[in-house]
Amino acid sequence: MRGANSRLVLFDVDGTLISTGGRAGAAFGEALQHVFGCRGPIEGYRWAGKTDPLIARELMLAAGVEPAVIEANLPRLFARYLENLSAALAPGTVTVLPGVLPLLDELERRGVAMGLLTGNVAAGAEIKLRVAGLAGRFRFGAYGSDSADRNLLVPVALERAREALGREFRAEHTVVVGDAEADIRCARAGGALAVAVASGWTPRAVLAALHPDALLDTLEPPPALDAILGV
């Protein structure tokens, strides 16, 4: 087991820390409708592990919107989405998933460095976590607003960790915790360890097929803490 001091733990947001019960997806869909006049094939769309800009591009390309039009309107789309999200997420509408609070408490108590690695645009993650009561738990993060390609986000998170905490972290001592195949792939792409948790939309067997370093059903502490600190 590595010392807690050298370990960096990066959490995905949706399906890993919290659930908005579909409210964020609805807010995103309304923003697409408002800005582009259509939602694309949003019914049955697989959101898991995708960054917000990738979701917008995939749905609008499928709807036949020109790539240049999509790119030019992304700032308007995210402005509308964030307005919708703030309105949709009243207090009590965001569920913190099982084990998250005691796990974060225990990691904090041990002085383990923690940040976010999420496909959310930064302001979207901030709104969701604030409504969930998790504001202030994470001092830095790498977001969908940093790159549409999640596989590029581990190095961004390492840099943010250095800026926020004033010390260097290494990819091989970094653990990416997430509920989707894309979380495991981005950990691998960045040279980090992958702890998968089957608390979101992706079945456990699908996660297992990608051979994460550890695979959990929930983030309930004894097993989750052992997995995160022990891999």
- The footprint of Mg ion (CB under 5 A) covers 12, 14-15, 179-180
CA distance 176 to 186: 8
Residue nearest to Mg ion (CB): 15
Smallest separation, CB 48 to Mg ion (Å): 6
Tell me the closest approach of the beta carbon of residue 202 to Mg ion, in angstroms: 8
Question: Residue 5: CB partners within 8 Å, gap ≥ 6?
Answer: 111
Residue 35 or 114: the one with the smaller Cβ distance to Mg ion is 114
Residue closer to Mg ion, measured from CB, 84 or 120: 120
C-beta of 59 vs 65, nearer to Mg ion: 59
Closest separation between CB of residue 112 and Mg ion, Å?
Answer: 21
Would you say 12 or 52 has its CB closer to Mg ion? Answer: 12
Helices marked H in 8-66 — which ranges?
A: 23-36, 52-62
Smallest separation (angstroms) from Mg ion to the CB of 5: 27
**67-74, long-range: CB within 8 Å, 24+ apart, which pairs?**
69/36, 70/36, 73/35, 73/36
**What is the closest distance, in whole angstroms, from the C-beta atom of residue 1 to Mg ion in the complex?**
26
Tokens coding 87: 């309105």
Sign of the CA dihedral running 138, 25, 45, 208:
positive
The SS3 assignment for 156 reads: helix
Cβ atoms of 16 and 200 within 8 Å: the answer is yes
Distance (Å, whole) CA 55 – CA 48: 10
User: Cβ closer to Mg ion: 146 or 179?
Assistant: 179
